[in-house]
Structure 1
Amino acid sequence: MRALSAGLLTTLVVGLAPASAGAAPLDGPPRTAASGPDRAAKALPALRVRTLASGLDHPWDVKPITGGRLLVTERDSARLLVVDGGTARPVDFPSGSVWVSGETGLMSLEVDPDFADNKRFYTCQGGFTGGGGHDVRVMAWKLKGGAAKPVRKLVGGFPVSSGRHGGCKLLVARNGALLVGTGDAAVGTNPRDLRSLGGKVLRLDRRTGKPWPGNPFAKAGNRNKRYVFTYGHRNVQGLAQRADGSIWSVEQGTYRDDEVNLLKRGGDYGYHPVPGYNEDVPMTDQSLPGEQQAARWRSGDPTLATSGAAWVRGGGGWGGYAGMLAVGVQKGQRVLFLRFDARGRLKGSRTPAALREFGRIRSVVSAPDGDLLLTTDNGDGQDRLLRVSPR
């Protein structure tokens, strides 16, 4: 299999686009929540953007592993790549076992905290079931030499239709639990049906695949329900844990209202597009029975197509960006930085010009040194893996 062209091909240092009160959602906070410039922010440094690998095709996720290497998944080709020393090389991986259709394929990636010892990593991917069926599932693997060896399927049976709204984001939390953000498969009843794994954030033991014992429905008779951490979601594309331990999700909206949510154990996030699949309903429908959790940020109309996200760590020269949530934007073609206070209230946003030059941004990941790793999502072999650092 051929190696991909890679290296430090591009370096950009660009100033910042201004943030203005009352701007369209692409350039500032939503009109419905805490609009206005981020006056509390420190000075914002210029950003340096370097291309680590090019010639990629729909890279969905990236994660650092030992030796300064990076693992990368490609959605449509279902290839797993290692980027190392200026070269991106395919890993021996059973791509033919991945069901690829529409928005579903080889998607999110997570690396075990003990990877240096156990070489384990996890993927969320389309799969084949008996009788010609399909699902979305989470698999555990071991990287041995240049090959990925399957360990086990941790959990599967996430609903699918055409491949639309396949999700699917992974996060190992600091308590060791594996969280999985799923899509609703464009089936209106899935998000609030606790027997369905679609339209949820799930929580499980990454070693055994069993439901996490602290889940809100851990003692339920229905096994799927025991996995549920939160529900009422449309299509979860990002998960990130803040320094204070809180878990946040990024969710794609309909024609309006992409959302950033602060996750509350057992919380209902209010998406219920029935009868049929009625995308005119609110993303968070406060008229539903019970209590619905309001979004902490939403795009308004139109959507930006938000995707992966990571919290910017303090230090390392990040200045006023430190502590902000960096969110990849596909349709809006940028990275959106959002500031929330200690209570989770939106305080402002920034959209750096340096990160408007690369088209659609899929994943945003924090590197061990605090830099941000980005994957683009433009297709046709034109995608890149980028590293962003403050100048």
Structure 2
Amino acid sequence: MRDPHRRTRRTLAAYAVGALVLPVVLAGCGQGGDEVDIDVTGTAPASPSASSSGSSSAGPSTDPSAGSAGGEQVELPTSRRPRVVATAVTGLEAPWGLDFFADGDAIVTERDTTRVLRVSPDGEVTELGAVDAAAPEGEAGLLGVALSPDFEQDRLVYLYVTTGEDNRVVRAELDGDRLGPTEDVLTGIPNGFIHDGGRLLFGPDGHLYVSTGEIGEPARAQDRDDLGGKILRITPDGDPAPGNPFGSPVWSWGHRNVQGLAFDGEGRLWASEFGDSTWDELNLIEKGANYGWPEVEGRAEGRAEGTVEGGPSGDFVDPQAQWSTDEASPSGLAYADGHLYLAALRGERLWRVPVDGDGAGEPEAFLVGELGRMRTVALAPDGRLWLTTSNRDGRGDPADEDDRILVLKP
């Protein structure tokens, strides 16, 4: 069995797209030069693997930064690269949440306008309504969305909303193309200008998983009675789900700001998490586990097994993979065909991470610098990925068509 805790370090100097070599450019504050160190914690690959820009050009892509110790280049076949095959829609404003109807249309939220949209693969956009209770400010506003597992019967849409008082989960009935008034499901989640979490995902158990942030107050993450800095698990009616470890909505704790949730093919829950100034994380979520923030950021050094002693707060679970914050700032997360896909904001790239029974393998980067900030990635019913840009969220450099939703073949 491969060692899941082995650390691999490599330097990416450029990405090859056909005959064109593009330098790696970092977005946002803290820009560096063309060479960037990536420190990845996970299962080491059996052989070197290349990082690619994910261009849709034909033929294999060769990454000059990858290869054997002797400098031999490794070709990455076109079939292995996620590539953009269509643009579903342009001209959105900071799209945040995304889920799918059975017919392949998407339901999309805009953080700052508080609009809820229906978007078809051919670009037709229908405004379903707006959430008046939302109070956008900074990173807060209308965030995640999830359709009820029984949507065809109950027509319920679940939303994560920042109000003037708190973050809360609400639901509303969709009647045709009109969203009805909202009903509170879970209230009292701390709200702030930053670190509001916001992702919603129904699990295979039928319960709703909710990611929250510590709103810039790190101590909340280690307070098990506080709903900030947690992953919550609730029933569709908002009660603590049966089997929760502490008799409360809390499923896991010690998180800084989780904005990505995904279940893999084995039914395991994964989460992407923003670090502070050193490490962003990909975590495999375990019932009742403490993920260490603010006592630990990224992987705890000197640890032999799956946890490190955390003093009065208990043991801390290490991330399965970690990135420099310049390379990721991961938000959305999706699973497809044995891989997790992470949409990176500051890193302006799509990360792909192989996962299996042993944990996470070595990440690869695609679409580096080609689309700007990327917020959400989701698996559509047809097996393709939808990827949203987030260049109009106040921190990007929007192109004329931004914000967009791109369709990718994984």
Please, what TM-score do these two structures have when normalized by structure 2?
A: 0.76
Residues 179 and 301 of structure 1: CA distance in aligned 2, closer, same or farther (over 3 Å): closer
Matched, 1:333 2:348: yes
CA distance in 1, matches of 2:86, 2:101: 19
Amino acid at match of 1:152: E
Residues 288 and 382 of structure 1: CA distance in aligned 2, closer, same or farther (over 3 Å): same
Equivalent position to 2:324, from 288, 300, 303: 300
Alpha-carbon deviation of 1:202? 0.3
**Aligned with 1:30: secondary structure?**
strand
Amino acid at match of 2:238: G
Q: Which residue of 2 aligns with 1:154?
A: 185
- For 1:55-204, list aligned pairs within 5 A: 55-84=91-120, 85-93=122-130, 95-128=131-164, 134-150=165-181, 152-161=183-192, 163-204=193-234
CA distance in 1, matches of 2:175, 2:123: 21
Deviations 1:361-390 (Å, cap 9, x if unpaired)?
100100011100111000067200111115
Deviations 1:82-130 (Å, cap 9, x if unpaired)?
113422122223x3310111001000111112212221111111013xx
- For 1:1-391, list aligned pairs within 5 A: 30-34=39-43, 45=79, 46=81, 47-84=83-120, 85-93=122-130, 95-128=131-164, 134-150=165-181, 152-161=183-192, 163-206=193-236, 208-218=237-247, 226-272=248-294, 282-283=297-298, 286=308, 288-289=310-311, 290-300=314-324, 302-313=326-337, 323-344=338-359, 346-353=360-367, 356-379=369-392, 382-389=402-409
CA distance in 2, matches of 1:143, 1:382: 27
- Aligned alpha-carbon RMSD (Å): 2.7
- Contact 1:138/1:155 (CA < 8 Å) preserved in 2? yes
Residues 238 and 357 of structure 1: CA distance in aligned 2, closer, same or farther (over 3 Å): same
- Contact 1:306/1:328 (CA < 8 Å) preserved in 2? yes
Higher relative contact order (CA 8 A, sep 6+): 1
Identity of aligned residues (%): 33
Please, what TM-score do these two structures have when normalized by structure 1?
A: 0.80
Residue segments in structure 1 that go unaligned for 5+ positions in a row: 1-13, 19-23, 129-133, 219-225, 274-280, 314-322
Amino acid at match of 2:128: V
Count of paired positions: 339
Residues 268 and 17 of structure 1: CA distance in aligned 2, closer, same or farther (over 3 Å): farther
Residue segments in structure 2 that go unaligned for 5+ positions in a row: 1-16, 23-32, 51-75, 301-307, 393-397
Deviations 1:139-170 (Å, cap 9, x if unpaired)?
11111122111352110111123x21011111
Alpha-carbon deviation of 1:232? 0.2
Amino acid at match of 2:381: P
**Aligned with 2:153: secondary structure?**
helix
CA distance in 2, matches of 1:50, 1:148: 28
